[in-house]
Structure 1
Amino acid sequence: MKKKLIRPSAKEDAAITKAAKSDPNSRPLTNKQWDKVKPTLTRGRGRPLGSGTKEQVTLRIDSDTLAFYKSKGNGWQTFINLLLGEIKKESKSIKLVEKKVINGNLITTKSKIAA
């Protein structure tokens, strides 16, 4: 069952604020102080925020290749992303792979038949 939030009335809110301001050990934060606090607040429950740099795509992969990566357990998509990132860093390697694909040296017999 969902809990209901009970909001104080304007009169009750004023009394609470007055009591908080009068307590020297518990002063309410100023707007300037809140601006410093807000960026450091952590999220509560739910899915964690992403990095904001990833993009969701649809990709068709052979079932045996997909099964291999999924067999690695949780984080298999991140693992694929890391591998592709490493290939990207090794620009010479990617150029060699692209050259083999263009020349038809990397295409398997199964792929040649389908084409």
Structure 2
Amino acid sequence: MPKLKPRTVLPTPAKDAKVKRQMRQDPQNPEWTKKDFAKARPASEVLPGLVGEEAAEKLLKPRGRPKAEVAKERIDIRLSPEVVEYFKASGSGWQTRIDAALRQFIAEHPHLV
């Protein structure tokens, strides 16, 4: 089970059973059978016929930020409170500014590498 956020309230067993019972009885949203899953097709195959090529292309377009050519590496680093406070004081993007400062340091001190 995934870790829950603080103050998450889980339903009681009785409430959970009631919700599941109501879900099973919903005629507009029946539970899928193995036959339903076997007939299922990817949205990329089905959407163009339902909404047209142009609309399907928009709906299927990946969302979010495009993948970077060179991805940054996620690490854990311990910094002094003064350093973190200094970079956070200028607003969002503070981690990017730390990265830029370290890149500048490397450029100015090539002999250390």
TM-score tier, shorter chain, comes to: 0.3 to 0.5
Instruction: Give me the TM-score of the superposition, normalised by structure 1.
Output: 0.39
Q: Which has the higher contact order (CA 8 A, sep 6+)?
A: 2
Instruction: Give me the TM-score of the superposition, normalised by structure 2.
Output: 0.40
